[in-house]
Amino acid sequence: MAAPIIEVTPLAAEKAIELLQSRGKPSAGIRIGVRSRGCSGMSYTLEFADEQNKFDEVVDGETDGGEAFKIFVDPKAVMFILGTRMEYQEDKFKSGFEFVNPNEKGRCGCGESFTV
């Protein structure tokens, strides 16, 4: 069996489910993609998905407690994020999702964008 396109840590899964439940309307899951932006060329996008698009890659996310949700990966992003791990970091100054991508060749100083 092939490795998933993206791996989601249990804490990131818990935070994603929290956000989906607090949205106020039903969601099919979350959508992950990349877009051209920043000084290194690309940045990750993360948004609510109302439905699965025709060519989305689908990955199942799950918390340690067994709560599940769907992750839809934009087909144009697959080759850039293959093997990536989605984490959730929280400290005194910031909190949010972070992507650990083994394909990255570089990242800008502020951490906003990357290159592969």
Tell me which residue of 66, 95, 80 sits closest to 33, measured CA to CA.
Answer: 80
Q: Is the pTM of this model over 0.85?
A: no
Count structural domains, the chain.
1
Question: The CATH number of the domain where 60 resides is what?
Answer: 2.60.300.12
Banded model confidence at residue 84, pLDDT cuts 50, 70, 90: very high
Domain that holds residue 70: 6-104
CB 38 within 8 A of CB 108: yes
27-36 pLDDT, tens per residue? 999 999 988 7
d(CA 54, CA 74) in angstroms, rounded, equals 10
Q: Which amino acid is at 3?
A: A
In a domain, 114, yes or no: no
